[in-house]
């Protein structure tokens, strides 16, 4: 009698544990994106591709560019395998037909399907929190030549930009798609655009500066660059991508300059590139300037052009390698041999690296007495660290 009672208790325990495990399993499945809508929507990515195909026409290796932030939004990685399965089913190529850009984790999961022959672009957003579904979809013609042709066509696109027809990604999608459609967008620049997530003159200038450095101070084995991105602009993301100059590994140090400091240094300073050559045992600080006045004067943009026109025209001009040697576009402000102590001093918070190199008057800059008598170089304007 006693023995039977023990067996019954054991049976109940096993049943209870099984129930617990089942409950836990169903909760964990429900928490996975892509799994949540099981039954109602088995393949969201197939739906996205089908929706895009219904609009610009066929998707194929000659005419399609897909731009997406897949992988960046929270848990959107769950769709990656399905996405690539659909992508390769259509004979598309990773290097020819795709740009996966980085976005923040709180961004929506979006896709832009650009059709080169028509200039049409289908923009799709999906939601996958509870049910997986297409939450927004629109098709617009974004052919730059058509949009920029007449005052009427410009105004029409300006209106679309103002109404954020691509949910704020109008500039990024228009410039990347049109740049890609020229067939002249360097794939190594596209790799930088993955990180930067839009195509602008700033990132283009970084590409030119990076190429200039590699040409003049070749990145051979045992050579590394440390970049003082001062003043910083969109260009830095090129160095991060191209040279693995990540902030976390001390590859890039960023700070701003006042207009007075820029003027005092002269030649539109872009940054200080420290080249450490372990083979030769040398460390050189190469200070470069980049002059956007030349770009603006040469690219064909007019003063009253909207930003999407002037910036894209600048992009086109900067994409053309024949323009890279234009006198004054990249200038050498100075080249100095430095030691490790100087390099460390340049990295310290509160130090202006140009002062450390003697290119700015440190007396003037560090004078924080607040009497307003000192400016930078030309004797007027606020100093670094001081309010005007």
Q: Interface with Zn ion by CB under 5 A: which residues?
A: 200, 202-203, 234
By C-beta, is 125 or 237 nearer to Zn ion? 237
Give CA 81 to chain center in angstroms.
Answer: 23
Q: 285 has which bridge partners?
A: 274, 336
| Nearest distance in Å: CB 107, Zn ion | 17
Give the start-end residues of each E strand in the chain. 64-68, 98-100, 109-115, 120-127, 133-141, 223-229, 252-254, 269-277, 282-290, 330-337
DSSP 209-278: HHHHHHHHS---TTEEEEEEESS--TTHHHHHHHH---GGGTSEEE----HHHHHHH-S-EEEEEEEEET
By C-beta, is 19 or 307 nearer to Zn ion? 307
| Nearest distance in Å: CB 69, Zn ion | 16
| Nearest distance in Å: CB 203, Zn ion | 5
| Nearest distance in Å: CB 196, Zn ion | 6
By C-beta, is 87 or 290 nearer to Zn ion? 290
Give whole-number Cα distances, 363 to 211, 231, 367, in Å. 35, 20, 6
Instruction: Give the separation between CA 289 and CA 275, rounded to whole angstroms.
Output: 16
Neighbours of 2 (CB within 10 A): 5
By C-beta, is 31 or 307 nearer to Zn ion? 307
| Nearest distance in Å: CB 19, Zn ion | 55
Neighbours of 48 (CB within 10 A): 27
| Nearest distance in Å: CB 288, Zn ion | 19
Which residue in the shown chain puts its C-beta closest to Zn ion? 234
Q: If you ran DSSP here, which 8-state letter would residue 93 be given?
A: -
By C-beta, is 173 or 200 nearer to Zn ion? 200
Cβ atoms of 131 and 43 within 8 Å: the answer is no
| Nearest distance in Å: CB 235, Zn ion | 8
Helix axes 307-319, 170-181, angle to 10 degrees: 30
* Token pair of 113 as six digits: 């399907």
By C-beta, is 56 or 201 nearer to Zn ion? 201
By C-beta, is 67 or 275 nearer to Zn ion? 67
Q: 126 has which bridge partners?
A: 109, 134
Instruction: Give the separation between CA 157 and CA 200, rounded to whole angstroms.
Output: 18
By C-beta, is 113 or 239 nearer to Zn ion? 239
Rg, Å, the chain Cα set: 27
| Nearest distance in Å: CB 304, Zn ion | 22
By C-beta, is 189 or 203 nearer to Zn ion? 203
| Nearest distance in Å: CB 156, Zn ion | 25
Q: 123 has which bridge partners?
A: 112, 138
């Amino acid at each position: 009698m006693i023995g039977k009672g023990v067996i019954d208790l054991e049976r109940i325990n096993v049943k209870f544990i099984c129930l617990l495990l089942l409950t836990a399993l169903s909760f964990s499945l429900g928490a996975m994106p892509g799994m949540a809508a099981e039954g109602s929507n088995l393949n969201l990515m197939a739906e996205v591709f089908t929706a895009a195909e219904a609009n610009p026409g066929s998707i194929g290796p000659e005419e399609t560019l897909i731009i997406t932030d897949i992988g960046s939004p929270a848990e959107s990685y769950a769709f990656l395998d399905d996405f690539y399965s659909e992508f390769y089913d259509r004979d598309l190529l990773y290097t020819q037909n795709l740009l996966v850009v980085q976005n923040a984790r709180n961004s929506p999961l979006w896709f832009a399907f650009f059709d080169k022959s028509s200039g049409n672009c289908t923009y799709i957003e999906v939601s996958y929190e509870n049910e997986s579904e297409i939450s927004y979809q629109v098709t617009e013609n974004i052919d730059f030549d058509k949009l920029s042709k007449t005052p009427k066509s410009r105004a029409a696109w300006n209106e679309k930009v103002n109404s954020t027809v691509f949910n704020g990604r109008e500039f990024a999608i228009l410039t990347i798609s049109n740049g890609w459609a020229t067939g002249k967008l360097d794939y190594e620049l596209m790799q930088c655009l993955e990180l930067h997530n839009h195509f602008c003159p700033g990132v283009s200038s970084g590409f030119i500066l990076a190429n200039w450095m590699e040409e003049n101070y070749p990145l051979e084995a045992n050579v590394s660059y440390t970049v003082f991105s001062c003043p910083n602009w969109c260009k830095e993301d090129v160095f991060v991508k191209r040279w693995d100059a990540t902030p976390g590994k001390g590859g890039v140090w960023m700070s701003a300059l006042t207009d007075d400091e820029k003027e005092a240094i002269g030649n539109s300073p872009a940054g200080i590139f420290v080249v450490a050559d372990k083979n030769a045992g040398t460390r050189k600080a190469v200070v470069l300037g980049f002059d956007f006045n030349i770009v603006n004067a040469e690219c064909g943009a007019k003063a009253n052009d909207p930003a999407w026109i002037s910036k894209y025209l600048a992009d086109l001009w900067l994409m053309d390698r024949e323009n890279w040697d234009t006198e004054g576009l990249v200038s050498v402000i100075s080249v100095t041999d430095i030691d490790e102590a100087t390099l460390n001093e340049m990295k310290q918070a509160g130090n202006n690296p140009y002062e450390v190199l003697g290119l700015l008057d440190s007396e003037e800059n560090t004078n924080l007495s607040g009497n307003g008598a000192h400016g930078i170089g030309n004797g007027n304007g606020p100093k670094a660290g001081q309010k005007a």
